[in-house]
Chains A and B, each alone.
Chain A
Amino acid sequence: MPPAHPPPPHEPDPPESNPAGDDAPSSASSEFWTGVRDELPLQLGVIPFGLVFGVLGIASGLTPLQTILMSSILFGGASQVVFAQLWATGAPPVFVGASISVINMRHVLYSASVAPYLRQLPLHWRIPLAYLLTDEAYAVSIKRFLENPANPFKHYHLLGTGMTLWVLWQITTTIGVFASTTIPEELSLGFAIPLTFIAIVAPTIRTRPDLLACITSGGLALAGHTLPWNSGLLIAAMGGILAGWLAHRFNQPRVAQ
């Protein structure tokens, strides 16, 4: 029988649940596990995506090691898919870097959004939390931060969501790599990638500038699809951002002089 651990003297036992609501004290570990639990439903979208990326990486001519390690080096689904596609077309390195940078630029927004809650943390917390700041972890944890801004352990929530996503992303990528020859072509699992993006994008189109950005980008992507190295993607993305931004500026109510 293992020896019983004495409870730490400076800390009360963490409550199993938090029935008293948002103001009740919460411990680091309960906050972490809340993050893990909150992140789990999103994994139903992440799992097929990870599998498909594993398959796609091999199909694009990456080695199994390159495909698997890309999931921890880049750790961003959309950018990894585009990286593999660009690699398959033989795009020049600078072009790959530019495309990935544009795709991942949205993380600056997430970074700015969580900064008020995490700015005070020491560097050894801010670095791993920044690394784990993906679409899915951000989406879940920012809600928690907004509801519970004073919780001293709130960063454990992001650690929980981020690590859940990280672990499942690595596992599913690896399975995808080794199962790539056994997944039947007829299942068209690759179509899960645009479907995931449709699920993310469609509900975010709320204003006319949003719609204009979407239409411009889609139109340019089709018009430019025969350009070398998939450069239609970069042109379409930049065009869409510019169109949306100009429309937004034009729509701004003028301040009376």
Chain B
Amino acid sequence: MIWIIMIVTGLLTFAMRFVMLSGVAPRKLPAAFGEALGFVPIAVLTAIITPAVLMGEGNSIMLLDNARLPAAIIAVIVALVSRSVVMTISAGLGTLWFLTFLGV
């Protein structure tokens, strides 16, 4: 079963990468659709980031005693200033390790 899901989602992903190169699709995306698509990366990735930062053991939201939260805040600042993926990951993981090492 998993193979079928993988292949179908793989084909769907390829179709989305190919559609505008296919020669079949209209040359321009419909305006409203194009605008909505512009919000896809922000909405999707934020929906992945937030629980990964804030969820603790047993599905509880952790605001205190959670080293990932300050690490993520530092990462956002570094991302905004440096616009570098490498710097952002380094700063975030560095903060997390440092706080874990301190036992915070």
Contact = CB atoms under 8 A, between A and B. Distances in A.
Contact of A241 (B3, B43, B52, B93): B43
A142 interface: no
Contacts of A119: 21, 23
A73 B51 contact: no
B29 A213 contact: no
Nearest to B43: A240
Nearest to A215: B46
A198 interface: yes
B86 A45 contact: yes
A92 to B, nearest CB: 10
Contact of B21 (A44, A118, A241, A242): A118
Contacts of A244: 38-39, 42-43
A210 interface: yes
Q: Give the dominant DSSP class at A's interface.
A: helix
Nearest to A245: B36
A109 B28 CA distance: 10
Nearest to A117: B21
Contacts of A37: none
Nearest to B22: A126
Given A45-B89, A127-B18, A196-B85, A245 B35 contact: yes
Nearest to B85: A45
A226 interface: yes
A199 B88 contact: yes
Contact of B20 (A93, A111, A204): A111
Contact of B16 (A42, A45, A111, A126): A111
A11 interface: no
11 contacts: A66-B6, A87-B2, A97-B9, A105-B40, A108-B29, A126-B18, A197-B46, A214-B46, A217-B43, A218-B50, A249-B35
Interface of B: 1-10, 12-14, 16-23, 27-29, 32, 34-55, 59, 61, 68, 71-72, 75-76, 79-80, 83-86, 88-89, 92-93, 96-97, 100
